[in-house]
Every structure is written in structure tokens, then in C-alpha cells.
Structure 1
Amino acid sequence: MGTPPCKQKAARSAIIVLLALQTSLITVASYGTASADTSPPSTAVVAVSPSTVNHPADARGAVAQTPTADAQRSSKSPHQQVATVRKTTETKPDQPIRLGQAQAFHRLKAAGLRWKSSGGCTDRRLGHCTSLQAVRAATVADVIDLKRDSKCPVVVTGGTEVGHSPGRYSHHRGYKLDIRPNRCISDYITDGQRPDAVRGDGAPLYRDGGTVYAREPDHWDILFR
């Protein structure tokens, strides 16, 4: 017994509709897959403020920290860096300690030494004065030791005033003092110290380590080193 013609027609129509629907679904799925494979990846756009551009650490969410000492030094201008170097080099520990006139005078007086100026003044800019301004503390200590060791009276008559020979180890730079000669101190120097040739101006020299005594006509010129 065969299927009625009307039922066969309806079945064919249903099959055609199902095939059409299936084809549509496949086409849509293929298009979506192709679109997913070929479309470029989406890029998130973030608004960045000018301050963030200048400070990349803020863009990463980093916590701002206080600059280190090295960073602060490196941020200084060249003039500031030069000033820092100059300040460091100006404070060398091997620079001699120097005394003022009053300081040196009181140290000599406390140790029993005397000070005498032919002009009765202490201005180091005047040759007829006897100044102790800017004399080395070590020079004052050495002449005090000379009095103690010799047990002789010592009178300082020349210091850092102008009028003496220039040089690295000179009166003006605080390395030399003149003292008044007397029999006690002269015998101590000539008998106890080693003779050391004659200076260019004819003054006999005597040496005791770094100390050099030069016998000039009216005083002893002494270099303390």
C-alpha cells in the first residue's frame, strides 16, 4: 500500500526546509569562525595624563619614593657639583693649623718666652713690626721645646711680617722665627747641633733633623719643619 500523494508532498517540503535550515546554520557558523580568525585583536585605549608621561613609574602603578642621596647629587647642576668638589678639596686634613697673634703670644708667654718688636707693633704688612699672625701652631710648639730643652732664655724678634726672604718654608708662611742671640742659646746650638755648610748669604748653618739654625749678624734665623 503506497503513501498518498499529499503526504509525500508534505514530507518533501519538510525535508527541503530542514536542509535549507541546516545549510543556513553551517554558513553562519563558518562566517563567525572566519571572522574570529581574521579580525585583528582589540586594543584597549587608556587615557594618559601629561604627568604620567613624565613619570613612567606612575603609569606602572609604582609607589613614588624619596630620591636617594646619589640621585639628588646627580640631579645637581654642574656648578653645584663643582662647588661640592671644591669644598671637599679645600678642607684637607694635612693643612697646617695656624694661630692668630693673640693665641701665639699667649702660648709663648705661658711657656716663659718673650716677644720683642723693634717697632712696637704686630702688623704683618709692616717690616718693622714683629707679627705672629698666621704662624703655624707647630712652629710655636717647636720654639717652646727649644727653650725647654736648652733651659735658656728665648726672645722672639721676627715672625710672619714682610721683609724676609720668600719661599715655601718662609717666615711669611709661618715656618720660621727669629730669636735674639745670647751666650746660653748660642752655645746650645753651636755645641749641640750638627754644622751644615754655609748659606748663600754667608750665614753658618746648624741642623737638628728638620730644624735648621742660621746664625745671622744680629739674630738666629730658625726654620722649624
Structure 2
Amino acid sequence: MGIRPCRRRAARLTAGALLALQISFIALASDGNAEIGTANSPAAVMIVDPPVVSARVARAGLYDLGVLETARHYTRDLYRRSVALREAVDLDTGLWEREGLSEPQRPVGESRVRKSQVQTSARTAHRLPSVRMAHTQAAQLLKQAGLGWKSSGRCTSRGNGRCTSLEAVRTETVNRVIDLKRESKCPVVITGGTEVGHAPGLYSHYGGYKLDIKPNQCISRYIKSEFPYQRTRGDGAPLYGDSQTVYARESNHWDILFR
């Protein structure tokens, strides 16, 4: 028994429609794979007609440029954060040797990093290279951040040991002592800066790396709880800190090295 001609024609049309639909799906899949540039796609799929690609980029306009710029920004940000985390974990023995100290020892298997240390290193990773500041500029920044300043001689001359001067202090030093104030939520009063009369050396008060602050229960408790004890210095001052910051508890102040 044969098939009627009208039914054969309908079957052909249906088959043709299905074939056309299948070809459309294949073309769309090939075009999508070509745009994303997958490495495992067949060679035929990777071939893209240049005029078609350029037309699509032109229609996307500034949107594509914005996506690329955002990707670059976050790539740089992640790189800086990875550097900061590495610096927070790795101890710098050279700093302790220059200070006449032994390298801080950690218990075997210890890999814990303090939250405040990582946050501080992450912030400093975004800052510009250090420059020197005038006393008035540094004092204004400290005042705006809520830090106090005190001079036993009531003067700011760098050449007078009775004064408290911030002349030629590093911007990094100022930023770090402000971070100490914010993270500890304690009163911080500067009592020693870059004036003469302190111990000499590269990482010194005069070099802009050290500041003295007035001790109080709040700041002393914060330093001792957040920074591990290392050893006692030759002059009897107990030392706390890490590879970036060293706190020495002297008789009437905290002597702080911000590397």
C-alpha cells in the first residue's frame, strides 16, 4: 500500500524544517565557541570572520572597554594583596640583625597570621612610596586622625633634643602610627620624633623610622596582646613585634620602629 503524494510532501517539509533548525543550532554553537576562544574547540569552530567580530565589538562599545578595565584593576589589586600577605607571613631576619636581635621564633607548624597584621600590610601595599613630610604637615595629619603630640621643651626644632619634631618624618611612619590608633582604639600621644638625641642608625628616629608614644593601659594591653614578645633588649627594654614593626617598652614611653 503506497503513501499518498500529499503526505510524502508533508514529510519532506517536516524533515527539511528539522534539518534547517539543526543547522541553525550548530551555527550558533560554533559562533559562540569562536567568540570565547576555547582551547579545545575544533579548528573549524575557531575560525571567525573578522568583519563579524569587529561589528560586534563596535556594537558593545564602551561596555567592553569598561569590562576590560575592571578586570585589569582587580588583577592588580589581587597581586598587591598577595604581596602583602606574603610579607605578613615571611619574617625578615635582616631587620632583627640590624637591631641586634635574634630572629623571632615560631612554634613548629605554626602558620597563623594575626588579623591586624594582615590588614595593616594590605593597606600599606596600596600606598605610594615613602616621601618626607614637614613638621606642620605631619602634625596636621596626626591631629585630624585624633592623635596627640607633646614636647617636654614645648618646641619643634629638630636640632634640639628637648623638642619633639616631626620634620622629615616618613609618610609611611605617620600612616602606620595612625593605623595603630585606629586598630587599637586607644589614646596615642607622640612624645618623640625625628629630633636629635636618639640612638643613631639607618632605622632610627632621625631617619624618620621611629616614634615614641606615651604609654597607657589601653595601648600597652593592645601591643602585648597583638604582638608576640621576642626578647629583652640590652638596655632592659622588653621587645614585642614582627618583621614590620618593633615595640620596645622603655621606662617612660613606647619606642616604636615602623619599617
TM-score (norm 1): 0.57
Residue 142 of structure 1 is matched in structure 2 by 176
Residue 140 of structure 2 is matched in structure 1 by 106
Distance between the aligned counterparts of 1:158 and 1:128, measured in 2?
9
Q: Secondary structure at the match of 2:208?
A: coil
1:198 CA drift (Å): 1.1
Residue 152 of structure 2 is matched in structure 1 by 118
Residue 213 of structure 1 is matched in structure 2 by 247
Describe the shift of the 1:95–1:188 C-alpha distance in structure 2 as closer, same or farther (beyond 3 A). Answer: closer
Correspondent of 1:182 among 201, 207, 216: 216
Distance between the aligned counterparts of 2:243 and 2:204, measured in 1?
17
Distance between the aligned counterparts of 2:246 and 2:180, measured in 1?
12
Q: Secondary structure at the match of 1:206?
A: strand
1:199 CA drift (Å): 1.0
Residue 96 of structure 1 is matched in structure 2 by 130
Distance between the aligned counterparts of 1:184 and 1:216, measured in 2?
16
Distance between the aligned counterparts of 1:162 and 1:209, measured in 2?
26
Distance between the aligned counterparts of 1:105 and 1:112, measured in 2?
11
Structure showing greater radius of gyration is 1
Distance between the aligned counterparts of 2:188 and 2:129, measured in 1?
28
Residue 198 of structure 2 is matched in structure 1 by 164
Mapping of residues 41-120 of structure 1, within 5 Å: 96-120=130-154
Amino acid at match of 1:170: S
Give the ranges of 4+ consecutive aligned residues of structure 1 lying more than 3 Å apart after TM superposition: none
Amino acid at match of 1:102: T
Q: Secondary structure at the match of 2:221?
A: helix
Distance between the aligned counterparts of 1:152 and 1:171, measured in 2?
23
Per-residue CA deviations over 1:129-156 (Å, capped at 9, x if unaligned) read: 0000000000000000000000000000
CA-atom RMSD in angstroms: 1.2
Higher helix share: 2
Runs (5+) with no aligned partner, structure 1: 1-93
Runs (5+) with no aligned partner, structure 2: 1-127
1:95 CA drift (Å): 7.0
Q: Secondary structure at the match of 1:120?
A: coil
1:224 CA drift (Å): 0.1
Distance between the aligned counterparts of 1:193 and 1:128, measured in 2?
30
Distance between the aligned counterparts of 2:230 and 2:202, measured in 1?
20
Distance between the aligned counterparts of 2:243 and 2:255, measured in 1?
16
TM-score (norm 2): 0.50
Amino acid at match of 2:249: R
Distance between the aligned counterparts of 1:178 and 1:222, measured in 2?
6
Number of residues paired by the alignment? 132
Distance between the aligned counterparts of 1:95 and 1:160, measured in 2?
19
